[in-house]
Structure 1
Amino acid sequence: MNDNINGLIKEDASLHKDCNLCSESSLKVGQRTDYGAVIVFRIGSSAEDSWFATLSPKTGGDPEQDFTIQLMPQAHLTHFCQVSNYPKLAENYGTAFSKVCNAMAGLMAAENKGFKVTSESKEDAVSMATYGKCTNWKEKKEHLHIKVFPFRGDIGQPYTVDSSFGRKEVHKDSGTGEEFVKMKPVRKVMIGKERFEKLANQLISLLNIK
């Protein structure tokens, strides 16, 4: 294997003073970040095996129904490939991710009176998505984070990796001749205080059952 990729995989993952996620990584469950997110889950006993999850105060979906949970390693990892260097961290990722998805699905199903194991309609389905990216490009090399959110409404539009995205109507700019497809804009909005606090308490309860 190329020595340079080994250098990336084994890169120093100690906390960075100028990283906001590093500063959040020591907070306890129930505490709030400077951004206003709430720590809803932690797993692990050291930086080499720990993940933490936050409930964001904003959503790109419907603030009355949707929410986003962000999952991050405590260590300042910047690339997915680096997780392989910490076997217990990789193991705990599986546990953390599955628990976050379980809790989110449970809350979505509880709010959906028409929920069935197999939904007959898109509207009654419990649809979820994850989003995460990484790069070693200096300008965008940042603390690894993965988002989990309900995949519906404007935030549930087909994405570039979806086969349905390739079936979208293609338009052409009359001036440049450049091709493009139309998508609805997605804007982050604040979740109401009462609902946000209720969600935080529910998630803390669901995610921290021993």
Structure 2
Amino acid sequence: GLLRTLAEPLPVSSEGVRERKPFYVMKALVQEALVMQLLTHSSPNQLWVFPGIPPSELDPSKPGTVAHEVANMPPWGARWVSNGADADIKIAVPRMGRGFEMHVENITDEFILGLQTPLPKLIIKRGFTEASAKAAVELVERKVRALQRFIKRVVERQVFAPLVEQAGFDPREARVRLHWGIPERPELRIGDVLRAFELGVISREEARAMLAEAGWKLSPSGGGGDGR
């Protein structure tokens, strides 16, 4: 089946081919070949021609020779001046294999897929419509919700329940639950605050703090009231 194709080699009775490698090995070989191709072809080869120099100057391992100085020349633009009439520098720029950019883009796409979010792709790539962007975000959100449900079950059963039981309570009655997201804060109504103060549910200081948080300008010394 699919898993065997991904993970197991397949013997092939063909001349010159013993087996077909599993998909993960082929993928690793392709990526390694891309890196080697980039290292091999990223910079041009140079042929330095100095007619008439003695063979002793062609030893790159001997300091002071022309070959040694050329081999150890800094790559950021050092220049030589020669009075030789036929001195020349030939640069051979190797050609990159066809489709190299597509392979690099594929590796980048795989990395973005591993992030489990479409936001980098939506930001740096063009051509996404609002509908496609929304569909991509919804797909990732479903994965996130599934992962949250799994973590919730594990934490509640293997972390919360033993801790509650060690504290001497029944986990089924305590019903300690893990809730994802930012806790919703109830809307603070001034009438409810004043009513709670009248009923003695909250103190005068607590009522003043709530009113100040709601935007009321209250003096630090406090106003009138019954002092509760």
Q: TM-score range by the shorter chain?
A: under 0.3
Q: Please report the TM-score for the alignment, with normalisation by the length of structure 2.
A: 0.24
Structure with greater proportional strand content: 1
Structure with greater proportional helix content: 2
Q: Please report the TM-score for the alignment, with normalisation by the length of structure 1.
A: 0.26
Q: Larger relative CO (CA 8 A, sep 6+): 1 or 2?
A: 1
Larger radius of gyration: 2
